[in-house]
Structure 1
Amino acid sequence: MMNTLAIFGLGTPEIIAILVIVFLLFGAKKLPEFARGLGKSLGEFKKAKSEFEEELLKTEKEAMSDSSASKPESRPSPELSQPIDVEAEKPEETNQEGK
């Protein structure tokens, strides 16, 4: 934990000062409720994260099985095998002066 807080430039004295300020602001009665609420919200976040990961894995497995079951023969399409004439696709330039 200290390595993560070191990124923000927080040392032990700063952390103690922050905890004292939080204790003074919220009081001794509110801190356990605050911690309980924080723990519940972290638990819900972890639960949602795991459900999301499971859904992604399930979708990925279905996509893999669908693609391997109905894999068409790979051959180039006729439109892509012909060269593209770049000059033919350019619009004709018009003279803006009207000459």
Structure 2
Amino acid sequence: MFGGLGPLEIIVLLVIFFVLFGADRLPKMANALGRSKGEFQKGLDESTKAMKLEQTIQDMDAGGRTPSQALAARAKEVGIDATDMDPTELEKKVTALEKLAAEE
């Protein structure tokens, strides 16, 4: 049922909770637990939206191209043939040539 707990185990746990916390505090605790879960979910949703927004901005900066397409376009701008090159090596070369061009 819940994480491998059967109905009997759940009933035993509920009885233990009633004994430890009393019948009046259990609804308050359940309410607080529900609110905490809601706040956690809201924070999780906000962080997910922020990551999606950041990715959208990166996509817009790339002009709708994939990262490899954007890298190939940058390589072409600095005069490098990107065919059959390792992406990390190509990135290093393109970055170095862009820095040289910026210094001039």
Normalised-by-shorter TM-score class: 0.5 to 0.7
Q: RCO greater where, 1 or 2, for CA within 8 Å and sep 6 or more?
A: 2
Give the ranges of 4+ consecutive aligned residues of structure 1 lying more than 4 Å apart after TM superposition: none
Percent identity over the alignment is 36
Alignment of 1:14-29 (within 5 A): 14-29=9-24
Q: Return 5+ residue gaps in structure 1 as ranges.
A: 79-99
Deviation at 1:27, TM superposition (A): 0.2
Structure with greater helix share of residues = 2
RMSD: 2.2
Q: Return 5+ residue gaps in structure 2 as ranges.
A: 65-69, 81-89, 95-104
Question: What's the TM-score, normalizing by structure 2?
Answer: 0.62
Residue of structure 2 equivalent to 1:42: 37
* Count of equivalent residues: 73
Query: Is 67-76 or 38-47 further displaced after alignment?
Result: 67-76
Residue of structure 1 equivalent to 2:52: 57
Question: Is 2:3 the counterpart of 1:5?
Answer: yes
